[in-house]
Amino acid sequence: MVRRITVTIKDSATREIEAKWVGNALALHKPIPEDTNGKRKGWTITHLDSGLIAGIYKGPYKEALRLVKTWDPVFFEELKGSKPDTKAWPRVKTWCAQVMMDEEIQDPTSFDYILKEYS
């Protein structure tokens, strides 16, 4: 089943697009030209409550899907509403590092991840 989501693009305009995967807080879809200056590479991750881009993952679809499925419960629990405060969000650096493929995809709430952070 194809799901359509609403994304916010430049100048706060909105656009309805087709998503490849939709969770409780995040959606995964092909980049739209407004997001990438016409260069369509990777996969766009959108925060559903706000319609804003949460990241553009440049890796393959299967990895992008694993990333959004891993982080969807975290976003759902910690970043609700149409104006999430990402600047104050303690996981922003970890999220960005995983989106940029500087860190392996891992659930930041998992015991293994927490153990690694504090060892």
Nearest Cα residue to 28 out of 63, 80, 73:
63
The pTM for the full model equals 0.87
pLDDT tens by residue, the chain, 119 residues: 679 998 988 777 888 999 999 999 999 999 876 655 656 689 999 999 999 999 999 999 999 999 999 999 999 999 988 888 888 999 999 999 999 999 999 999 999 888 877 87
Residue 110 amino acid letter: S
Tokens read off for 37 = 């200056």
Residues 99/57, Cβ–Cβ less than 8 Å: yes
Domain extents for the chain?
Answer: 3-117
CA distance 79 to 61: 24
